[in-house]
């Protein structure tokens, strides 16, 4: 079982002067869920190398068992520091793909031609596609084999407008994940803010927020069983 994880290479939070990137829990929890299930996990990003970490995701209030495990895992840290450039990835080499969130993907992966083509190749092949929190934003321009938006008519979740408002970035992000999923025809649903919530429909797995990252990974694994 070979699973690809795709992380952002974008580190600037709009024009705020603040840093962003990927959210540590949304990488660590799925990484270990997949690895512990026996998957061979390959890491990729648009630019390759070390993806930028959102510094807020490494503050004590964001620590979890998975992030603590990552901090004590030199092998995982080395793998993360050496992600493969997305342009060198072939969907045919993998059984599924998973996108961790953080705000970074809204700027780069949502618009990245290699990422869009990759997800479309997974969808054509009937291979599972997973994304959590802001990462469902990578589906913004992705079309299914029928030429319609991949999310159209499918149950989807993602970072809610109210969660974005709670972190004060509604007017900073290039688009709101909830609004985009609805506009593209997704059957959007949600749980309570900050509570675990993930849905699976037609090979597409989406989770709402950082707390949903492990549940989304488990749902992806269920599709591979």
pLDDT in tens, 82-104: 999 999 999 999 999 999 999 99
**Strand 198-201 vs strand 204-207: parallel, antiparallel, or unpaired?**
antiparallel
Please give the CATH number for the structural domain made up of 2-224: 3.40.50.880
- With tokens 């603590």, the residue in question is 68
The predicted-structure confidence for 6-43, as pLDDT tens digits, reads as follows: 999 999 999 999 999 999 999 999 999 999 999 999 99
The predicted-structure confidence for 100-114, as pLDDT tens digits, reads as follows: 999 999 999 999 999
Quote the CA–CA distance of 208 and 63 in Å, as a whole number: 18
Alpha-carbon distance values, 3 to 13, 107, 139 (Å): 29, 24, 18
- Mean pLDDT across 178-182: 98
At 123, list the tokens. 């969808």
One-character DSSP codes across the chain = -EEEEE-----B-TTSS-B--B-HHHHHHHHHHHHHTT-EEEEEESS-BSPPBPGGGGSGGG--HHHHHHHT-HHHHHHHHTBEEGGG--GGG-SEEEE--SSHHHHTTTT-HHHHHHHHHHHHTT--EEEETTGGGGGTT-B-TTSSBTTTTSEE----HHHHHHTT-TTTSSS-HHHHHHHTT-EE---STTS--EEEETTEEEE-SGGGHHHHHHHHHHHH-
Alpha-carbon distance values, 24 to 7, 8, 106, 166, 187 (Å): 11, 12, 16, 19, 28
The pLDDT value recorded for residue 51 is 98
**Confidence band (pLDDT; 50, 70, 90) for 161?**
very high
- With tokens 């007017």, the residue in question is 171
The pLDDT value recorded for residue 222 is 97
Quote the CA–CA distance of 141 and 50 in Å, as a whole number: 26
- With tokens 């930028």, the residue in question is 52
| Percentage above 90 pLDDT, the chain | 100
CB 224 within 8 A of CB 95: yes
Instruction: Provide the CA 69 distance to its chain's centre, in angstroms.
Output: 20
The predicted-structure confidence for 39-78, as pLDDT tens digits, reads as follows: 999 999 999 999 999 999 999 999 999 999 999 999 999 9
- Mean pLDDT across 219-225: 96
Contacts of 27 (CB under 8 A, 6+ apart): 5, 7, 70, 80, 100
pTM: 0.97
């Amino acid at each position: 079982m070979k699973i690809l994880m795709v992380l952002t290479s974008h580190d600037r939070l709009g024009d705020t002067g603040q840093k962003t990137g990927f959210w540590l829990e949304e990488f660590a929890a799925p990484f270990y869920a997949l690895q512990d299930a026996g998957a061979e996990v390959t890491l990729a990003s648009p630019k390759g190398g070390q993806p930028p970490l959102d510094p807020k995701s490494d503050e004590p209030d964001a620590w979890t068992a998975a992030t603590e495990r990552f901090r004590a895992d030199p092998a995982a840290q080395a793998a993360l520091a050496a992600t493969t450039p997305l342009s060198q990835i072939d969907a045919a080499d993998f059984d599924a793909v998973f996108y961790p969130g953080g705000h970074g993907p809204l700027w780069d992966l949502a618009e990245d031609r290699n990422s869009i083509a990759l997800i479309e190749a997974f969808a054509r092949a009937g291979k599972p596609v997973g994304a959590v929190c802001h990462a469902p934003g990578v589906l913004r321009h992705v079309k299914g084999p029928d030429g319609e938006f991949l999310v159209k008519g499918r149950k989807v979740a993602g970072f809610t407008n109210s969660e974005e408002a709670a972190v004060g970035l509604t007017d900073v992000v290039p688009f709101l994940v909830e609004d985009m999923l609805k506009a593209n025809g997704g059957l959007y649903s949600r749980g309570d803010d900050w509570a675990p919530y993930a849905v699976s429909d037609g090979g597409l797995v989406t989770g709402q927020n950082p707390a949903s990252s492990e549940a989304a990974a488990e749902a992806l694994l269920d599709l591979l069983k």
